[in-house]
Chain A
Amino acid sequence: MFKQILYTQWKWTRLPLLVLLLAAFALPVFSARGASAAGRDNWLIEQMLSSLQSWGLVYPLLAGTVGLILARSTWSADHAGKHIYALSLPVPRWNYVLMRFGAGATLLVAPVLALWVGALVATVATTLPPSLQAYPTILALRFGLAAFVAYGVIFAISAGTNKTAGYILAGLGAVLLAQLFLDALGFETLFVQSLLVKLVLWPGPFEIFTGRWMLFDV
Chain B
Amino acid sequence: MSHAVEIRDLHYRAGKSFEIRELALSVPTGSMYGFLGPNGAGKTTTIRLMLGLLRPRSGRIVVLGGEVPREAPRVLARTGYVPEQPHLYQSLTVDEALRFHAAFYPSWDWKWADELMGEFHLDRTRLLSRLSKGEMGKLEMLLALAQRPELLVLDEPTDGLDPVVRRDVLTALLEYVSQQNATVFISSHLVHELERICDWVGVMDRGRLVAELPMHSFKNGIKRLRVANPPALPGDTPFVLLSREAGTGAVETWIVRGWQAPMSQYFEGVGAGLRDVVDLDLEEGFVELLRTFRVPTS
Contacts and interface: CB of A to CB of B under 8 A. Distances in A.
B76 A90 contact: yes
Contacts of A85: 87-89
B90 A77 contact: yes
Contacts of A91: 73, 104
Contacts of A84: 53, 83, 85, 87
A90 B89 contact: no
Interface residues of B, number: 23
Interface stretch (A3-11, A133-141, A182-190): A3-11
A3 B104 CA distance: 11
B206 to A, nearest CB: 23
A4 B99 contact: yes
Interface string A89-114: 11110000000000000000000000
Interface in A68-97: 77, 80-82, 84-85, 87-92
A12 interface: yes
Interface in B91-124: 91-92, 96, 99-100, 103-105
A82 B81 CA distance: 16
A124 interface: no
A195 interface: no
Contact of A1 (B76, B91, B103): B103
A82 B99 CA distance: 21
B77 A8 contact: no
A87 B48 CA distance: 10
B100 A8 contact: yes
A202 B77 CA distance: 46
Contacts of B105: 90
Interface string A1-32: 10110011001100000000000000000000
Contacts of B77: 90
A77 B104 contact: no
B89 A88 contact: no
B61 interface: no
- Tell me the interface secondary structure of chain A in the complex: helix
Contact of B91 (A3, A4, A77, A88): A77
A92 B73 contact: yes
Contacts of B81: 88
Given A80-B90, A88-B51, A88-B81, A3 B73 contact: no
Interface in A136-174: none
B74 interface: yes
Given A77-B89, A77-B90, A77-B91, A88 B83 contact: yes
A1 B105 CA distance: 9
A90 B74 contact: yes
Contacts of B83: 84, 88
Contact of A7 (B73, B75, B76, B96): B96
A77 B104 CA distance: 18
Nearest to B106: A90
A133 to B, nearest CB: 46
A206 B99 CA distance: 39
Interface in B40-88: 51-53, 73-77, 81, 83, 85, 87-88
26 contacts: A4-B100, A4-B104, A7-B96, A7-B99, A7-B100, A8-B92, A8-B96, A8-B100, A11-B92, A80-B90, A81-B88, A81-B89, A84-B83, A85-B87, A85-B88, A87-B53, A88-B51, A88-B53, A88-B81, A89-B76, A90-B74, A90-B76, A90-B77, A90-B104, A91-B73, A92-B73
State the 5 A-B residue pairs at the shortest beta-carbon distance, nearest first: A90-B77, A90-B76, A84-B87, A4-B103, A85-B87
Interface of B: 51-53, 73-77, 81, 83, 85, 87-92, 96, 99-100, 103-105
Given A7-B100, A90-B105, 11 more contacts: A1-B104, A3-B103, A4-B99, A4-B104, A8-B89, A11-B92, A77-B89, A82-B87, A87-B52, A89-B76, A91-B104
Interface of A: 1, 3-4, 7-8, 11-12, 77, 80-82, 84-85, 87-92
